Structure 1
């Protein structure tokens, strides 16, 4: 009778371990990956805004009235472009909208946008930390079951 009780406990333990492993692999890890991917997109966007800001500052410091540059048409395919008037710039403000700004207005917008994106990235980092804590806690529960 003792062997049937221990085999039932072993089956219950194995089922519980399987349940925890499935929870980690099917729920927590995919959620963590999705959050980290979203955060990476935010970091890429911040980087693009920082590049734009440095280009604006370069134009202002050198007092350029016109500009010759290379423009990426996509997939690293560049063409030469001539900008006859550098007083205004079009900035993608989101949702497919581009707004015409003066260079100073664009810098102010970029600073506000960077702050907003940074706070979103911090939120994603906090969410990722919570998921990592859940994974660690679940792994500790698994190790306790095994002992």
Structure 2
């Protein structure tokens, strides 16, 4: 194999290893973070719905003080709750206001997940395309599709 072809193959491999694979790993990690946020809001919605359904007006609970240290807390009035809206800010909501906020946030998170999923598919397609280019440069036969 001539040196030009070998050099071209090496550049393709470096592009996959140094650019595409780290981009793919980063996109998957970001999508996983959004999934976690979505789960947190889903859990919050379920908890609020349970409070409403059971007409809970006061509550005794454990509060995480940090470093997995917990303390018992009494909540005398559960009609208003504080919701973390990001950047360390909390807003006081009624149950219905919180449900509306959570619905809007869940829609936004769903759109973000779809965007990351499209990005991940695009990066995977680029990797496959570069690998196909390497295969052609090596003059190897095309991969046979797997039987279903």
* TM-score, with structure 1 as normaliser: 0.90
Matched, 1:72 2:60: no
Matched, 1:12 2:4: yes
**1:52 counterpart SS class:** helix
Q: What is the aligned-residue RMSD (CA, Å)? A: 1.2
2:146 is aligned to none
2:85 is aligned to 93
**1:85 counterpart SS class:** coil
Gaps of 5+ in 2: 140-148
Please give the alpha-carbon distance, in whole angstroms, between the structure 1 residues aligned to 2:65 and 2:39.
Answer: 19
Gaps of 5+ in 1: 1-8
Larger helix proportion of the pair = 1
Question: How many corresponding residue pairs?
Answer: 139
Which structure has the larger Rg over C-alpha atoms? 1
* TM-score, with structure 2 as normaliser: 0.89
Greater mean alpha carbon deviation, residues 71-80 or residues 136-145: 71-80
| Cα deviation, residue 78, structure 1 | 2.8
| Cα deviation, residue 44, structure 1 | 0.3
1:24 is aligned to 16
